[in-house]
Chains A and B, each alone.
Chain A
Amino acid sequence: MSEKLLEVEDLRTYFYTDEGVVKSVDGVSFEIKKGETFGLVGESGCGKSVTALSIMKLIPDPPGKIVSGKIEFEGEDLAKLTEKQMQKIRGNKISMIFQEPMTSLDPVFTIGSELIETIQLHQDLKKDEAYGQSVEMLKLVGIPDPERRMKQYPHELSGGMRQRAMIAMALACRPSMLIADEPTTALDVTIQAQILNLMEGLKEEFNTSVLLITHDLGVVAQYCTNVAVMYAGNIVEYGSVYDIFEEPKHPYTKGLIKSLPSLDKNVERLEILEGNVPSLIDAPKGCRFQPRCDVCTDKCIDSFPDLRYVTESHMVRCHREAGK
């Protein structure tokens, strides 16, 4: 079952602005296997969402552009497909759910008509068949009394309900991959767990792979198999959940994990990672984390480190680790 579904290789997505070229995603590579949940972690502005939108080829152009890279999905390079071909893949084979369930549903349509339309967009079904399937989907995502909800407008549902409806729409065509861009950030903590468990359950049921984009390390630890940590447009550490949480190698990952509150340790204050993500317009030529790093050396200032293996499954982009 460890067949690969998606392989992203050396993806570069740049935005051409008046101030200069913003290299939001600068050489990102990773692969997702069938049926796994892959975590993409990093702070705001590090390029997580741009990576996801690049896979969907939904980068607003202009100013954005996928400059180079391969996005191989089920043996097909998405980077080479036309807009028309992509429209057949979006929602059908790869679906995406967004951060804001409150505004991600069109206010002039009922939940039902949006669902039915989505299904009819990709499947050759009659309206009543699509209706039946929609009710079925709403039931699957745990919405009680689906027939009534079908007739309701988005503003009549709560945030959690709307996110469930979004998931129903995203999974309606049984896609082989679901991209979830911070799906629970806008929800209450109690609802977050429900939604994540729901996604986990549906993933098993449909054998869907999930690309989970988040800045919540707790979520990653619980649901993901493999993780990539992004910083300033690059992947700085890549490995299994075990590698990342038990043996973090990159000072950034270490800092992230240290800044998590823990039940075991009694600390007065949480550790803070000082500083901000550097500007992606004129990235320093050395290591991009170097200005915030407390263990950096001269080499870090001069040369950009490569992503290198430390164990068979674990890669890190740091001069200090590679030297060992």
Chain B
Amino acid sequence: MEQRKRKTRLQETVHQFRKNKTGMFGVGLLAFIVLLSLSAPILAPHDPYDASLDRRLLPGIWSDESPDGFFLLGTDSQGRDLFSRILYGGRTTLGIGFVALGIALAIGISLGLTAGYFGGYVDDIIMRFVDIMFAFPALLLALVIAGTLGRGIDKAMIAIGITYSPQMVRVVRSGVLMIKEMEYIESQEAIGSSHFRILFRHIMPNSLAPIIVYGTLMLATAILDAAALGFLGVGAQVPSPEWGLTLSASRQYLLTGAWWAATFPGVAILISVISLNLVGDGLRDALDPRLKGGAKL
């Protein structure tokens, strides 16, 4: 009995998170979407690029006019199967989101740690630059960067990654500023640890919680912006099945009766963003030490 099962911070967080119903629902939803996208080649009933003008804008299985060829969600303006396109599009849209987040994290963590830990002029220079980036609306900035770099999915990833890094720099820096004043950092200095060691072994793990939470929520907006760039025509290019692009290509048919072609890609974006927001909120609750039930003093 005395030999209480020891828990790492990770295990404790997972334990806390599992108690959060909406958070778990978010994880389930997200896993479902990611799984569907990953297994698109197996699940997709049709080739997402197989166009045929004979079956333009056919309704899905909810309608009597649905054809025999099994088009679950109907077809788009080029006669391609919408369901297959959404499955494949998830790979692109989610992929842009994840890579963009990765870029934002890499820039944000390295600059944030440097600014927060070393302070002084280094901090001033980095943070003033970040302030300048903040002066631009996020989507506009992404649009400008993507426009400068050229069209394409890879450019969209870089553009969104750069656009989001200032926020990450601020989050990381504020964490570092708080942690570096803690006494255990002082005692690490007194024990002869190097700056490098203190920064990466002690400050970074301790300031990870807000980075994880913020990163998850950022992923949701990154996906939204990836779709927005596709919608505006600077991100993914035709005939890519990217959700934003599909949505934008089909929106003119909304009023002509073929509502499904624009609605379903939109719903896909909606579900992924909601699931990520639920996960992010759940993580925030699980990582907040004040809400921890298991804290022993």
Contact B184 A87, beta carbon cutoff 8 Å? no
User: In the complex, A88→B186 CA distance in Å?
Assistant: 16
Binds A, one of B39-47, B92-100, B190-198, B225-233: B190-198
Which listed residue (A89, A92, A104, A121) contacts B187, Cβ 8 A?
A: A104
Contact B187 A105, beta carbon cutoff 8 Å? yes
Contact B191 A118, beta carbon cutoff 8 Å? yes
Is A270 in contact with chain B by the CB < 8 A criterion?
A: no
* B-contact 0/1 string along A96-107, CB 8 Å cutoff: 111010011111
For the complex formed, measure the closest distance between the CB of B186 and the CB atoms of chain A, giving whole angstroms.
7
Chain A residues within 8 Å of chain B by Cβ, number: 33
Is A91 in contact with chain B by the CB < 8 A criterion?
A: yes
Specify the chain A residue showing the minimal Cβ separation from B12. Answer: A153
Is A62 in contact with chain B by the CB < 8 A criterion?
A: yes
Q: Within B192-231, which residues are at the interface with A (CB < 8 Å)?
A: 192-194, 201-202, 205-206
Q: Within B109-131, which residues are at the interface with A (CB < 8 Å)?
A: 120
User: In the complex, A88→B193 CA distance in Å?
Assistant: 9
For the complex formed, measure the closest distance between the CB of B119 and the CB atoms of chain A, giving whole angstroms.
9
Contact A107 B187, beta carbon cutoff 8 Å? no
Given contacts A56-B190, A104-B183, A121-B193, contact A155 B297 (CB under 8 A): yes
Is A141 in contact with chain B by the CB < 8 A criterion?
A: no
Majority DSSP secondary structure for residues of A touching B: mixed
Specify the chain A residue showing the minimal Cβ separation from B198. Answer: A106
Contact B192 A88, beta carbon cutoff 8 Å? yes
Contact A108 B190, beta carbon cutoff 8 Å? no
Q: Give the residues in chain B near A21, CB-CB below 8 Å.
A: none
User: In the complex, A294→B258 CA distance in Å?
Assistant: 96
Q: Give the residues in chain B near A148, CB-CB below 8 Å.
A: 3
Q: Give the residues in chain B near A107, CB-CB below 8 Å.
A: 184, 206
Given contacts A151-B6, A155-B295, A155-B297, contact A121 B192 (CB under 8 A): yes
Contact A105 B190, beta carbon cutoff 8 Å? no
Contact A91 B191, beta carbon cutoff 8 Å? yes
Contact B189 A58, beta carbon cutoff 8 Å? yes
Contact B186 A98, beta carbon cutoff 8 Å? yes
Q: Give the residues in chain A near B194, CB-CB below 8 Å.
A: 87
Q: Give the residues in chain A near B295, CB-CB below 8 Å.
A: 155
Contact B191 A95, beta carbon cutoff 8 Å? yes
For the complex formed, measure the closest distance between the CB of B286 and the CB atoms of chain A, giving whole angstroms.
16
For the complex formed, measure the closest distance between the CB of B26 and the CB atoms of chain A, giving whole angstroms.
26
Contact B120 A58, beta carbon cutoff 8 Å? no
Is B9 in contact with chain A by the CB < 8 A criterion?
A: yes
Contact A91 B202, beta carbon cutoff 8 Å? no
Is B290 in contact with chain A by the CB < 8 A criterion?
A: no
For the complex formed, measure the closest distance between the CB of A99 and the CB atoms of chain B, giving whole angstroms.
8
Q: Within A37-89, which residues are at the interface with B (CB < 8 Å)?
A: 56, 58, 62, 86-89
Specify the chain B residue showing the minimal Cβ separation from A158. Answer: B297
Is A306 in contact with chain B by the CB < 8 A criterion?
A: no
Specify the chain A residue showing the minimal Cβ separation from B203. Answer: A106
User: In the complex, A98→B185 CA distance in Å?
Assistant: 11
For the complex formed, measure the closest distance between the CB of A313 and the CB atoms of chain B, giving whole angstroms.
31
User: In the complex, A210→B45 CA distance in Å?
Assistant: 78
For the complex formed, measure the closest distance between the CB of A122 and the CB atoms of chain B, giving whole angstroms.
6
Given contacts A103-B183, A106-B202, A106-B206, contact A152 B191 (CB under 8 A): no
Contact B192 A92, beta carbon cutoff 8 Å? yes
Contact A91 B192, beta carbon cutoff 8 Å? yes
Q: Give the residues in chain A near B206, CB-CB below 8 Å.
A: 106-108
Contact A156 B296, beta carbon cutoff 8 Å? yes
Is B1 in contact with chain A by the CB < 8 A criterion?
A: no
* B-contact 0/1 string along A131-166, CB 8 Å cutoff: 000000000000000001001100110000000001
Specify the chain A residue showing the minimal Cβ separation from B206. Answer: A108
* A-contact 0/1 string along B176-187, CB 8 Å cutoff: 000000111011
Q: Give the residues in chain A near B182, CB-CB below 8 Å.
A: 103
User: In the complex, A105→B183 CA distance in Å?
Assistant: 8
The 7 A-B residue pairs whose C-beta atoms are closest, nearest first, are A91-B191, A91-B192, A90-B192, A96-B190, A103-B183, A106-B184, A104-B187
**5 examples of A-B residue contacts, CB within 8 angstroms:** A56-B190, A86-B192, A87-B193, A90-B189, A103-B182
**Chain A residues within CB distance 8 Å of chain B:** 56, 58, 62, 86-92, 95-98, 100, 103-108, 117-118, 121-122, 148, 151-152, 155-156, 166, 169-170
**Chain B residues within CB distance 8 Å of chain A:** 3, 6, 9, 120, 182-184, 186-194, 201-202, 205-206, 295-297
Contacts A92-B192, A98-B183, A121-B193 known; 13 new A-B pairs at CB < 8 A: A62-B120, A90-B189, A91-B192, A96-B187, A97-B187, A100-B183, A106-B202, A108-B9, A108-B202, A148-B3, A166-B187, A169-B187, A170-B191
